[in-house]
Amino acid sequence: MNGTAEAGTAGQRRDVFAVDEDAALAALEDAWTAGGYHAFSVDDGTWSAISDAGEILIGATPDELGREIRAHWQEMQ
């Protein structure tokens, strides 16, 4: 197994573990904006968001960032 899958166009391949950054950022925004988190971004593989209190939360993947946000949100309740 080489870690790639066929993309929509013949001859193009993409990493099966590649993240659609735009879709992941949109999903994080949809899930957490109302909870007080904003400025979702990804830079060089580091995913981040800022709480309304100005705290910066980070993760290595969108899923990890989501877990960090959830834990932070639960602490604030």
Using the predicted structure, report yes or no on whether residue 73 has a pLDDT greater than 70.
yes
The CA distance from 40 to 57, in Å, is 10
Domain layout of the chain by residue ranges: 19-76
Model pLDDT, residue 14: 73
Model pLDDT, residue 1: 39
Centre a 10 Å sphere on the Cβ of residue 34 and count the other Cβ atoms it contains: 8
Q: Running DSSP on this structure, what letter comes out for residue 63?
A: H
This prediction has a pTM of 0.79
Query: Percent of the chain, pLDDT > 90?
Result: 77
Using the predicted structure, report yes or no on whether residue 55 has a pLDDT greater than 80.
yes
